[in-house]
Every structure is written in C-alpha cells, then in structure tokens.
C-alpha cells in the first residue's frame, strides 16, 4: 500500500464548555506524545463519561421494554458511577468523592423514574422526574464549579449537563415513538458530546492542579488524536454489541437502524484514516473493516441463533482472517510503529469480548454479558493510545504544539457569522459554540418559526419584552425592530412592514417569528434542509 503524506487529522472535537485558562501551555519544542498525565486524565474521563451515556440509553430502553436484562443494564450503569470515584478521590479527596457519588448516582435513579412514568403515561410523574433531572443539573454543576475552584464555571457546566440530559431524553423519546433511525442518530450526537465534556472537565482539573500533571495540557494535537480515536473505537463497540443483541431478539427495525448507525461510524473511521493515509488507505481500511468484521458479526448472530455450529465456526474463521489482515494493514500503514503482532493481539481480544457478550446474552447469563460488555468497552480506549501513539511517533513534526503567536486584533473568520438550528431540537449553535434553548423551531400552517430571543441574543442583539402590549423589541447595533404577537407586521427603524405570517407565543412562553421574514429583515442568508429539518443562517459581519 502506498502511504501518502500525512494530513493533520481533522479529528479534534470542538470545545463545548468555555473554561477560560483550562489548558496549560505545553512548550512547542517538546516531543509530541499521546501518553502524558494530562492526556491520560482526559482519556479516563472519555471512557467513564461515554460509557455512562451508552449504558444510560440501554438501561432506559431495556426498562421501558420490560426486557429480561433490564436490571443488569441498570446495575452496570450504577457501577459505572461507582467506578468514577477513584479518579475523583485522587484529586479531591474522600469527601469530594463521597459528594460526587451521592449526586451522580441519584441522577441515574431520576432517569429510571422518568422511564417508569413514561411507560405508565403518568403526566404528573413525568413532570416530577424531569424536575428531579433539572435539580441534578443545578446541584452537580455547582459541585463541579466549586470543586474546580471556578476553572469550570457553574453556568458552563450546567449548560453541558443540560445538553447531555436532553440528548439522553431525546434518544429515549424517539425510541418510544418507534423512530429508531432518529433515536440512534441522536445517540451518536449524544455520545460525541461526552468527549467534549471530558475535554473541558479534564482541562479545568489540569489548570487547577498543574503540578500534578507536570504542567501538561489536555488539548495538544496528540491528545486530540488519541481522544478522537477513543471516540470512534468505543462507539463502534457500543453500537456493534447493541445491534447484535437486537438482531438476536428479532427486533428487525431496531436492528436495521443500528446497522445504519454503524455505517455512520464506519464512514467517520474511514474519513479519519483517509485524513492520515490518503484515499487509498481509507478505501483499504473500509474493505477490510466491513467484509470480515462488521458483516461477520451479523453473520455470527445468525449462526448462533440457528444453533448451526458449522456456520458458526466458518464465521469465526472469517473473523480470525480479519484480525490477521487488519493487523497487517495497521503495521504497514504505521511503518511498524504499531507492530502487526501487537495489533493482532488487541484485535483478537476485541473480537473475543464481542463474542463473549452475545454468547452470554443468548444464554441468558445477563450479569456475565454486561461484565463482558463493560470490559470490552474499556478495551477500546487502548486503541486511542496505541494507534494514536504510533501515528504521532510516525509523524512527530505534524503533532508538535505551535509556538504562541500574537493575538490578531480580529479573528480571521470574524467576517462571517453562522447560526444553526434544527426543527424539534433545542440545540442552537452560534459559530462553534453549542448551547441549549428551552424551546425549539417548529412548522405551523406551512410556515417555519424560530425563537426570536435565542437568535437575537446568540448574535449579540438585545431583546426587550412588553407583556402588556405583546411587543418584542430587538436592538441590533443601530437598528431597532419591533414585533407584535398575533400581528403580521414589524417596525424596522420606525418604518412598518408586513411579514409572511403572524408572530406568536409557543407553549414555552417564547415569542416565535417567521424564519424567512426575520432573516430577510436582518440580512441573513438561509439554507433549509427539508429532509433533516436543519436551518443554517449565515451573514457577513
């Protein structure tokens, strides 16, 4: 295989939480490595937080179904919380760890309460459970801010926690509604969020305790690569195990949606490999990865369910061929910085753990299945360190920290503002910063409406509300606009104009305005993706 010149991987995740000063300065002359105390902390939080998300979704959906392994799924989720304690205690002592345990374990119970209330269609109980979840967001964000001495501000922590809880609930709600494709698309978004949270939290801890981490940094290019590979490998394991269980149970629609999600993970993995080793390397990866790995795992379930020992052995032989072929690929691609023998040992362990999960699941040994599941998930975090370490060693110049440069008076991309929203989603992205709204864009009578306050405040405008007059005033620079609820008119700098539809107040008490009208008045370009419901607004500033 011809290895093309390395392109720095576009794998790093955008930082969700604005923790100023969270990342220590690493000298540009230092030898790049994925294995530092700071990177280890980040990777450890990658593991624990992403596993929490994956197990929370499984525990909630299994409980809703009344599945025979629902208790074991919840027990695994609870054990994940307990397993976070040693890391917390090492930094914040026994008292800090005990307080962490009290708050964090309780919130697992709150989501369980939400499942039970949803299953009974008990509106009052649902509202109570949602209030409990919000109390967790408030209390835990305060704990994190206090523990990190403000390095992770409470407002930022609360914002991230609320986003996480909303994503878990969105997956569950779509699942309950039978929208499995939507549920697992949201699952992938929520899973990715946990890696941005781990980066922010680990950055705050390192900034608070620089000496404990050798004055290192969690956001070096090498640490970013390790974390991104962690995410891809762990997501692969989680989706594969869940898909195999659903296939074994005969949940064809759920299984099909998971196969689609797996394809998304494979595409992301291929993109990462391509960014390093070019299109040829990416194509070779995909062929090996899919044929005797992804497809073989599905064929394994089919043979297991039929009790066909001959077919089962044939599939195992294919999987063995995969471990040989893929380890050879990795050894060649990394110029033996990741030796083929070491890669094969790790791949064989991975495949054995996947098979152990489904074998125990089929035998109804659920406790053993979840034990193997957790061990297998954890194993994937060695991938980031091993493969990432080999790549960094292979191309050290590409992963050196850039020398500090004078801050420009204006960011290079300051001339363009970008805002992203999505129908039936509370997520709002302004530039690279993701926040949560308490309402969401909607379509009514053929008109798309967006929440005015969040759009305006997101772009730096000021908003005033006159309840008696039903009037909203938006002040953006030298321009002033006034909207009236129930009217299809707007006042722009003293001049009245008609808009396409009346402004209104939604069930959350937010003023909603017609998308097309407000963006035209503000001079924004609009891109509308009808199939996904995504709304992207851009404007030269």
- Give me the tens of pLDDT residue by residue for the chain, a chain 541 residues long: 332 222 222 222 222 232 333 344 445 556 899 999 999 999 999 999 999 999 999 999 999 999 999 999 999 999 999 999 998 999 999 999 999 999 999 999 988 898 999 989 899 999 999 999 999 999 999 999 999 999 999 988 998 898 899 899 999 999 999 999 999 999 999 999 999 999 999 999 999 999 999 999 998 999 999 999 999 999 999 999 999 999 999 988 999 999 999 999 999 999 999 999 999 999 999 999 998 999 999 999 999 999 999 999 999 999 999 999 999 999 999 999 999 999 999 999 999 999 999 999 999 999 999 999 999 999 999 988 999 999 999 999 988 875 544 444 444 444 577 888 888 888 888 877 777 777 888 888 888 888 877 777 666 667 777 776 778 777 766 677 788 888 888 888 778 888 878 888 877 777 888 887 777 776 778 888 877 888 888 876 5
From CA 301, how far away is CA 298, in angstroms rounded?
5
Cα 259 to the center of its chain, rounded Å: 18
From CA 383, how far away is CA 299, in angstroms rounded?
25
User: CA 436, 145, 190, 80 torsion: positive or negative?
Assistant: negative
Burial of 485 (0-12, 13-18, 19+ CB in 10 A): middle
Burial of 128 (0-12, 13-18, 19+ CB in 10 A): middle
From CA 115, how far away is CA 122, in angstroms rounded?
10
Instruction: Say whether 225 sits in a helix, a strand or coil.
Output: helix
| CA proximity to 503, closest of 541, 455, 458 | 455
Contact of 84 with 50, CB cutoff 8 Å: no
From CA 359, how far away is CA 9, in angstroms rounded?
37
From CA 492, how far away is CA 490, in angstroms rounded?
6
Paired strand residues for 429: 420, 434
Give every CB contact of residue 103 below 8 A, 6+ residues apart in sequence: 136, 139, 140, 143
| CA proximity to 402, closest of 33, 30, 40, 36 | 30
From CA 182, how far away is CA 177, in angstroms rounded?
10
Find the radius of gyration of the CA atoms of the chain.
25
What confidence score (pLDDT) does residue 511 get? 81
Paired strand residues for 492: 481, 495
From CA 241, how far away is CA 292, in angstroms rounded?
16
SS3 of the chain: helix, strand, coil, percent, to 5:
65, 15, 25
Architecture category of domain 416-540 in CATH: 2-Layer Sandwich (3.30)
Helices 309-333 and 252-289 cross at an angle (nearest 10°) of 50
From CA 302, how far away is CA 307, in angstroms rounded?
9
Sheet arrangement for strand 427-430: 433-436, 427-430, 416-422, 534-540, 525-529
**Domain spans in the chain, listed from the N-terminal domain onward:** 32-216, 220-399, 416-540
CA atoms within 13 A on the CB side of 249: 18
From CA 334, how far away is CA 125, in angstroms rounded?
55
In the block, residue with structure tokens 């362990």: 349
What confidence score (pLDDT) does residue 222 get? 94
Give the pair of three-digit tokens for residue 531: 């199939």
Instruction: Say whether 492 sits in a helix, a strand or coil.
Output: strand
Give the pair of three-digit tokens for residue 64: 């809703």
128 to 133, 176, 209: CA distances (angstroms): 9, 19, 39
* Residue 2 zone, left/alpha/beta (φ > 0; ψ -120 to 50; rest): beta
**Dihedral pair phi/psi, residue 6, rounded to 5°:** -65, 135
* Residue 419 zone, left/alpha/beta (φ > 0; ψ -120 to 50; rest): beta
Helix (H) or strand (E) holding 540: strand 534-540
| CA proximity to 298, closest of 242, 226, 353, 238 | 242
Produce one character per residue of 407-419: b if its CB has 16 or more CB atoms within 10 Å, e if not: eeeeeeeeeebeb
Instruction: Say whether 442 sits in a helix, a strand or coil.
Output: strand
From CA 24, how far away is CA 214, in angstroms rounded?
10
């Amino acid at each position: 295989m011809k290895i093309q010149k390395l392109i720095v991987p576009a794998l790093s995740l955008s930082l969700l939480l604005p923790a100023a000063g969270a990342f220590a300065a690493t000298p540009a002359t230092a030898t790049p490595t994925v294995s530092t105390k700071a990177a280890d902390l980040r990777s450890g939080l990658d593991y624990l937080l992403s596993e929490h998300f994956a197990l929370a979704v499984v525990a909630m959906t299994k409980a809703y179904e009344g599945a025979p392994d629902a208790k074991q799924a919840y027990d695994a989720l609870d054990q994940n919380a307990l397993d976070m304690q040693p890391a917390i205690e090492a930094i914040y002592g026994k008292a800090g760890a005990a307080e962490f345990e009290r708050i964090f374990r309780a919130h697992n119970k709150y989501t369980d309460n939400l499942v039970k209330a949803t299953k009974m269609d008990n509106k009052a109980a649902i509202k109570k459970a949602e209030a409990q979840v919000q109390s967790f967001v408030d209390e835990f964000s305060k704990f994190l801010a206090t523990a990190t001495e403000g390095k992770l501000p409470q407002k930022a922590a609360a914002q991230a926690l609320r986003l996480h809880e909303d994503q878990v609930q969105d997956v569950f709600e779509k699942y309950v509604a039978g929208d499995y494709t939507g549920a697992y698309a949201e699952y992938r978004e929520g899973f990715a969020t946990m890696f941005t949270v781990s980066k922010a939290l680990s950055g705050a801890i390192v900034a608070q305790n620089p000496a404990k981490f050798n004055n290192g940094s969690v956001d070096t290019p090498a640490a970013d690569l390790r974390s991104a590979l962690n995410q891809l490998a762990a997501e692969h394991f989680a989706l594969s195990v869940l898909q195999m269980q659903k296939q074994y149970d005969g949940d064809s629609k759920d299984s099909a949606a998971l196969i689609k999600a797996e394809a998304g993970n494979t595409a992301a993995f291929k993109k990462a490999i391509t960014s390093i080793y070019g299109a040829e390397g990416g194509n070779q990866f995909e062929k090996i990865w899919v044929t005797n790995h992804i497809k073989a795992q599905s064929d394994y379930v089919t043979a297991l369910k039929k009790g066909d020992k001959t077919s089962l052995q044939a599939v195992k032989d294919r999987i063995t061929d995969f471990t040989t072929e893929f380890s050879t690929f990795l050894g060649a691609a990394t110029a033996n910085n990741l030796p083929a023998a070491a890669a094969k040992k790790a791949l064989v362990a991975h495949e054995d753990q996947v098979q152990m999960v489904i074998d125990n699941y089929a035998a109804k040994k659920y406790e053993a299945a979840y034990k193997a599941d957790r061990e297998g998930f954890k194993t994937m975090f060695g991938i980031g360190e091993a493969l990432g370490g080999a790549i960094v060693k292979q191309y050290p110049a590409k992963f050196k920290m850039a020398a500090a440069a004078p801050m420009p008076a204006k960011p290079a991309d300051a001339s363009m503002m970008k805002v992203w929203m999505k129908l039936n989603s509370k997520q709002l992205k302004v530039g690279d910063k993701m926040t949560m709204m308490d309402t969401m864009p909607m379509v009514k009578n053929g008109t798309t409406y967006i929440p005015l306050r969040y759009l305006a405040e997101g772009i730096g405008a000021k908003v005033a509300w006159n309840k008696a007059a039903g009037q909203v005033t938006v002040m953006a620079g030298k321009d002033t606009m006034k909207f009236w609820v129930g009217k299809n008119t707007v006042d722009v700098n003293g001049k009245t104009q008609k808009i396409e539809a009346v402004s209104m107040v939604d069930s959350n008490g937010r003023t909603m305005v017609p998308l097309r009208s407000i963006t035209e008045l503000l001079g924004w370009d609009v891109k509308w993706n009808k199939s996904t419901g995504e709304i992207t607004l851009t404007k030269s500033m």
